[in-house]
Chains A and B, each alone.
Chain A
Amino acid sequence: MKQNTAIIIGLLVIVLVSSSMFTVDMTQSAVVLELQKPKQIITAPGLYFKIPFIQQVRYFSQQLLDNDSPPAEVITKDKKNLLIDSFSVWRITEPLKFLETVRDERGAESRLDDILYSELRVEIGTHDLHDIITETREPIMKKVSEEANIKASEYGIEVVEVRIKRTDLPPEIANSIFNRMRTERERIAMEYRSEGKEEATKIRAQTDKERTILVAEAYKKEQEIRGEGDGQSIKIYAEAYQKDPGFFSFIRSMDAYKNSLKTDTTLLLSDDSDFLKFLNKP
C-alpha cells in the first residue's frame, strides 16, 4: 500500500513536471497565456517552464511562409482586364499582435489576400497592360510589397516580398492575341513564299538572258567564221584563175556539164556543132 502510494505520487510528479515544461523550437516563437491573458512572449528557442493548467502556450512559426493568393481580376490603366496570380513571402514578427489580431496562419493569409488584392488593384490601375507584362513588373512588385508590408504590420506580420506569378488575360483577350499571332505568322509565311518566288524568278530570268546572249553570240561568231572561210575561198580562186580566165571558164564549164547534165536530160544536137562536125564531112 505504501509502495503503491509512492508510485502514484511519482506518476503525479512526472505529469506535473512534464506539463510545466515546454520547448520552443528554432522555427517557432511562443506566447504564454495565463488564463487567456498574454503573460510572456518567447522568441528564442530553448526549454521553458510554465504553471501547469493555469498557463497555456501558443506556438507560431518563425519561418518564412509562402502564401498563394487566389487570382485577382484587376483592370489596367488602359482598361484591360487582367487576372493576376501572386504569392507573398511573409513571416510572423510579433507573435502577440499576431495572436490578438488574426489568431493563426489561416486568418493571417485571408487578411494578406485582402491587402494584396487592394494593393494590386491600386498599383495595376496606374499602369498599361504592356508595362505590367514587361518593364515595370519588378517595380510594381516592389511597390506592392512595401505597401502591403506597412498594412500588414498591424497584424504582427512582415511581408518580405510580393511577387506576381501569372498575369493571365481574360479569354476574349487571349483569343484576340491568338488571332493576331496567327495572322502575323501567316504574313511571315507569305513573305517567305513570295521571297522564294522572287529569287527563283530572278534566277530564271537571269538564266534565260544569259542563254539568249550566248545563242546570239554563237550566231555572230558563226557568221564571222563562215564569212572568213568564204572570203578566203574567193581570194584563193580569184588569184589562181586570173592567170588565164579563158581556160578557167572553159574547164570550169566542162566540169559543170559533167556535174549538171544528168540522165533524164534531153539534148538537141546540131550536126554543125564541134562535137558532130565530122559526122557529115570526115
Chain B
Amino acid sequence: MFLGIIILLLVIWILPGTFYFVEPDEEGVVTTFGKFSRTASPGLHFKFPSPVEHVATPKIRQVRRIEIGFRATPSGQVQKVPNESLMLTGDQNIVDILLVVQYRISDSVAFLFNVKRPEKLVRDVAETILRGIIGSRKIDEALTTGKAEIQVQAKDMVQSLLNKYRSGIQIVTVQLQDVNPPEQVAAAFKDVVSAREDKERMINEAQGYRNAVIPEARGRFAQIVQGAEAYREEKVKRSEGDVKRFLSRYEEYRKAPDITRKRIYLETMEEILPSMKKFLMGSQKQGVLPILPLSSNPVFPDSKK
C-alpha cells in the first residue's frame, strides 16, 4: 500500500517531464545528459524525463528588436539615452543618432549554446560598429546623404561580427531612426536650412523683379517704336494730302492766274476779317498815330502788292 503511494507519487512527479509542446513560432532543442540530441518542430513530442533529457524552446520566428540611443516604453513614449545616442564623427563633430536593430534566431542550437547573453551581445556589437562607422564619416554625410549607406554597412558589419562569435543570430534590419545634430547646436543647424531657403527666396525675388521689368521695358520699346512709326506715316500722309490739294489748286490756278489769285485773296479776307477788330485809315499815313489802339497784339497785314 505504502509502496503503491510512493510509486504513484513518482509517476506524478515524472510524467509531466515526458512530453512537451512546441508552439508554432518555436523550435524545440533537446539535450540528452547535457549533450545536444535533436531539434523538434511545432507540435507534441515525447522525451525522457529530467534529468535525462531537457528541452528548450526558443522563439525562432520572432523578430526581436533592440534600441540604441533611446528606449521605447510600453506606453509608446520615447526615452532618450544621450550616453548612447551622442557620438563623434570623423570630422570631430557630434551627432545624435537613434538606431533600431531587428534580429531573429537563425540557428537555435548555436543561439542557445554559444553565447551566454545574446541580447546584450547584439547591443554591444551594434553600438561599437555604429560608432566605428560614424567615426569614419563626416557629419554632413551622416546627417543627409550617407544614411542608407551607413545602414547597409552597419548591418553587414554587425552580422559578420555576430557570425564570428557563432551566435546563431541573423540581423533583419539596421535602421537609423533619427540622425540629428545634438540639441546644443540644433538651432544653428536649423538656421542653415532656413539660410538656404533665404538664398532661394532672394534669387526668386530678383528673378521676379526681372520677370516684371523686362517685359514691361519691351512693351515700352514697342510702344515708342509704334508711336514713331505712326508719326512718320502721319507726317508723310499729311504732306501727300497737302501736296495733292496744292497741286489741284495749282492746276486750276494756271488756267487763270490773275483772277484766281485775286479771288482767293478776297475770299480769305472775307473769311478772316469778320471776327477781328478793325481800324480803317485813309491813304494819308499820318492819320495813323492819333488812333493807335491800346489793345494788345496789333497785327499789321502784309499787304500784297
Contacts and interface: CB of A to CB of B under 8 A. Distances in A.
- B is a partner of A: yes
Interface of A: 3-4, 7, 21, 23-28, 44-47, 61, 63-66, 68, 87, 89, 129-130, 133-135, 137-138, 160, 163-169, 174, 177-178, 180-182, 185-186, 188-193, 195-197, 199-204, 206-208, 210-211, 214-215, 217-219, 221-226, 228-230, 232-234, 236-237, 239-241, 243-244, 247-248, 250-251, 253-254, 257-258, 261-276, 279-280
Q: Which 10 A-B pairs have the closest CB atoms?
A: A229-B232, A196-B199, A189-B195, A200-B206, A196-B202, A203-B206, A225-B228, A185-B188, A229-B235, A45-B34
Given A87-B124, A181-B181, A193-B202, 13 more contacts: A3-B2, A46-B34, A46-B35, A137-B132, A211-B214, A218-B220, A236-B240, A241-B243, A251-B264, A266-B299, A269-B281, A269-B301, A276-B280
B276 A232 contact: no
Chain B, interface size category, equals 35 or more
Interface in B83-142: 83-84, 86-90, 92-94, 112-117, 120-121, 124-125, 127-128, 131-132, 135-136, 139
Contacts of A272: 283
Contacts of B302: 253
B19 interface: no
Nearest to B278: A267
Contact of A267 (B3, B218, B301): B301
B246 interface: yes
A68 to B, nearest CB: 7
B301 to A, nearest CB: 6
Interface in B224-267: 224-225, 227-229, 231-236, 238-240, 242-243, 246-247, 249-250, 253-254, 257, 261-262, 264-266
Given A222-B228, A240-B247, A160 B165 contact: yes
A261 B31 CA distance: 136
Given A185-B191, A196-B199, A263 B276 contact: yes
Specify the main secondary structure of chain B where it touches its partner.
helix
Contact of B192 (A26, A166, A192, A266): A192
Contact of A181 (B35, B188, B288): B188
A193 B198 contact: yes
B199 A199 contact: yes
B202 A199 contact: yes
A1 to B, nearest CB: 12
Given A225-B228, A267-B277, A274 B188 contact: no
A58 B211 CA distance: 89
Nearest to A244: B250
Contacts, number: 335
A3 B300 CA distance: 175
B34 A25 contact: yes
Contact of A214 (B217, B236, B247): B217
A197 B200 CA distance: 10
Interface string B270-305: 011101111111110100100001010111111111
B182 A133 contact: no
Nearest to B181: A181
Contacts of A279: 280
A268 B288 contact: yes
Among B51, B132, B218, B285: residue with most chain A CB under 10 A: B132
Nearest to B243: A240
A25 B114 CA distance: 12
B206 A133 contact: no
Contacts of A210: 214, 217
A87 B112 CA distance: 21
A164 B182 CA distance: 22
A226 B230 CA distance: 9
B46 interface: no
Contact of A63 (B33, B84, B113, B205): B113
Interface in B146-196: 165, 167, 181-182, 184-185, 188-189, 191-192, 194-196
A189 B249 CA distance: 83
Contact of B246 (A137, A251, A273): A251
A66 B112 CA distance: 15
B191 A233 contact: no
Contact of B198 (A47, A192, A234): A192
A273 B303 contact: yes
B242 A237 contact: yes
Given A46-B34, A165-B127, A195-B199, A66 B184 contact: no
Contacts of B2: 3-4, 7
A134 B136 contact: yes
A243 B248 CA distance: 12
Contacts of B299: 261, 265-267
Contact of A27 (B113, B221, B224, B249): B113
B281 A271 contact: yes
A226 B296 CA distance: 38
B114 to A, nearest CB: 6
B203 interface: yes
A66 B279 contact: no
Given A64-B114, A200-B203, A240-B243, A190 B128 contact: no
B6 interface: yes
